[in-house]
Chains A and B, each alone.
Chain A
Amino acid sequence: MTNPVIDEKKLIAQEKLNNPSLLRTIWREIMHDKMALGSLILFTIIVLSAYISPLFVDQTALTRVNFLNVWKPPSLDNWVGTDDGGRDVFGQLMIGTRNSLTIGVAVTLIAGLIGLTYGLISGYYGGAADNVMMRILEFLMVLPSLMFIIVFVTIVPNYNVFTFILIMSIFAWFGKARLIRSRALQERELDYINASKTLGTPSFKIMFFEMFPNLSSLVIVNMTLTLANNIGIETGLTFLGFGLPAGTPSLGTLISFARNPDIIKNKWWVWLPAALLILVMMLCINYVGQAVKRASDARQRLA
């Protein structure tokens, strides 16, 4: 080799073009689906305003009680009215969205990591290890998890946002682990795994650097779809009064006003916008998730 550096950069760029990454494929798929594109744009707007607007809003004003201003219907001053303490609902809506999103993402990531590790180990080793791990998983899956989460939330000492995220994550990874395990079980039969073994690659490296990239599209699809689900569970729990601790408002906190019949009917501006906002976010995330799913499976692609 006289000239080993034969314009590396150009070569790499060229091959990148020939081998579009999953992200690129997803992008192309979304661009081809007007609804998915619309969902993505709408969702981005919601996310951006939820994360940026609290920077401009006086946070303390949102928690200050103002008895002269309680239960005000929507007006120019308060776009969607005020609540029982005269606090601006729109500001709470933004902060609630931010909190719900952050927690949803955190739970999805933690649960994803646990599920991925568990599923990969179970599927990679197979045999007796897999057998034991699957029996355990089967057991965990029959637990009435909503009840368990509520019980944990009530008995955990020093309950705060982090313990809440942890409790939710503990019950959110079972399905993922089973999904990844069944795919890993198929992958382990393929010779590239055997080849890595004969080349002396350590097992954990084979799992995470050889096997995992081949399952990544599955993981991404699953994560997008469960993100929506986790936001739903979080707001639902907060609605019931077993979610975010007081002081960390979530969209569920606003909706929980709706447990009073008078408020449902006569002060709808407190809870209805939050409910609709969650609904819109769920629809957007799921629609994008469907496009991601199609992108990961060549047979279903529209683009």
Chain B
Amino acid sequence: MLKFILRRALLMIPQLILLSLIIFMLSKAMPGDAVTGAFMSNPNVSPEQVEKIREKLGLNDPWYEQYGRWIGKAVQGDFGQSYVHKQPVTSLLAGRIENTVLLSLFTAIVIYLLAIPLGIVAGRWTDTWADKMIVTYNYFAFATPLFIFALLMLFLFSFILGWFPIGGSGNIRIDPGSWEYIVDRAKHLFLPVMSGALIGTYGTIQYLRNDIIDQKIKDYVKTARSKGVPEGKVYTRHILRNSLLPIAAFLGYEITGLISGSIFIESIYSYPGLGQLFLQSIAQRDFTVVTALVMVSGAAVIIGTLLSDIILSIVDPRIRIE
């Protein structure tokens, strides 16, 4: 057990190093560097001075020295300066990360709140009208592209019906901490969260339904029934115990989806999070920010997958292949 976790955790280290190397190479391929961004447009700085600054910042050193410096600083949480926002990238990210985490967290919670009961109902009462409706809903959830769904939701609920604000994360004039503030934030979060969650249920419902259908005919369930265990208890005590546990583990695998989802959602609802920052920075050629964002997201996915693997190995010993 411990051996599996350790070995799995060790595997993460080369993954992180490789990720950082690739991102570093990409950042070198991006047009312009810290100096071009900061001084090139300034006519008061001569090319010789630029060259001097380059030398001083170490931008003429061999790549591996530059990489070492970059990763060394990145580990300490220093990703350099954003020349568009004129502030350290780290503090820029810190200001936005709360919004994205909040969005992703609520999306994940709503997905589970919707998907688990629906999956159980569909799996327990297969081929009833309820099951058929859930399967149909799930089919739509699977087939609909996120950005289209989000646009349609925005169009319908914000523009036509006017129930929700059309964008942003909250009204800055309201005093933080007041009840009003919370309601206002919730109103701004509701549509983005629902857009992601309503069609994010696919995997969980599909897994639960199939798993319950598989478990239903297993011998241990038949044994429980033949002993006279009431049908409700067969589910709560026996089947669901086996089917629900792995779902907790899947959250880590969902991070990739949540990240790419946040890019679309934040762009459509002008929600000031990391996804929107990423698109803005790309458009403004603010590549220190882009590099930092890709690195942070990549690391988040790697760590999330690691946690999922470990949780899953605790829940389901069969996958713990030595």
Contact = CB atoms under 8 A, between A and B. Distances in A.
B174 interface: no
Nearest to A271: B151
Chain A binding site: helix, strand, loop or mixed by DSSP? helix
A109 interface: no
B263 A282 contact: no
Interface residues of B, number: 45
Interface in B19-35: 19, 22, 26, 29-31
A283 interface: yes
B220 interface: no
Interface string B10-52: 0100010011001000100111000000000000000000000
Contact of B298 (A142, A232, A242, A282): A142
Given A255-B148, A255-B151, A282 B282 contact: no
A240 B146 contact: no
A267 to B, nearest CB: 12
Contacts of A145: 256, 260
B148 A290 contact: no
A154 interface: yes
A252 B160 CA distance: 22
B144 A150 contact: no
Interface residues of A, number: 41
A287 B138 CA distance: 12
B29 A155 contact: yes
Contact of A151 (B11, B15, B154, B282): B282
A240 B264 contact: yes
A259 interface: yes
B18 to A, nearest CB: 6
A10 interface: no
Interface string B109-150: 000000000000000000000000000000110111111100
Interface stretch (A184-192, A197-205, A272-280): A272-280
B31 A283 contact: no
Contacts of B267: 240, 259
A36 to B, nearest CB: 12
Contacts of A259: 267-268
B154 A236 contact: no
B159 interface: yes
Given A142-B302, A268-B155, A155 B31 contact: yes
B301 A278 contact: no
A271 B154 CA distance: 13
B145 A147 contact: no
Contact of A147 (B259, B264, B283): B259
B166 interface: yes
B229 interface: no
Contact residues of B: prevailing secondary structure:
helix
A247 interface: no
A258 interface: yes
B213 to A, nearest CB: 12
B20 to A, nearest CB: 12
Contacts of B30: 151, 154-155
A279 B148 contact: yes
Nearest to B303: A142
A261 B168 CA distance: 13
B290 A236 contact: no
Interface string B260-272: 1001100110000
Contact of A144 (B26, B282, B294): B294
B84 interface: no
B26 A146 contact: no
A81 to B, nearest CB: 16
Residue among B30, B31, B294 with most chain A CB within 10 A: B294
A236 to B, nearest CB: 5
A144 B259 contact: yes
Contacts of B22: 143
Given A240-B267, A282-B144, A143 B19 contact: yes
B151 A147 contact: no
Which one of A138, A145, A151, A240 has the greatest number of beta carbons of chain B within 10 Å? A151
Contacts of A155: 26, 29-31
A278 B259 contact: no
A118 interface: no
Nearest to B31: A155
Most buried by A among B142, B283, B293: B142
Given A240-B263, A265-B159, A144 B29 contact: no
A278 B148 contact: yes
B86 to A, nearest CB: 22
Given A155-B30, A155-B31, A228-B143, A144 B256 contact: yes
Interface string A211-236: 00000000000000000100010011
Interface in A237-282: 239-242, 255, 258-259, 261, 264-265, 268, 271-272, 275, 278-279, 282
A139 interface: yes
Contacts of B71: none
9 contacts: A142-B19, A147-B293, A150-B263, A151-B26, A232-B145, A282-B144, A283-B140, A286-B139, A286-B143
The 10 A-B residue pairs with the shortest CB-CB distance in the complex, in nearest-first order: A232-B145, A146-B260, A286-B143, A265-B159, A144-B297, A282-B143, A142-B301, A236-B147, A275-B148, A283-B143
Interface of B: 11, 15, 18-19, 22, 26, 29-31, 139-140, 142-148, 151-152, 154-155, 159-160, 166-167, 256, 259-260, 263-264, 267-268, 278-279, 282-283, 290, 293-294, 297-298, 301-302, 305
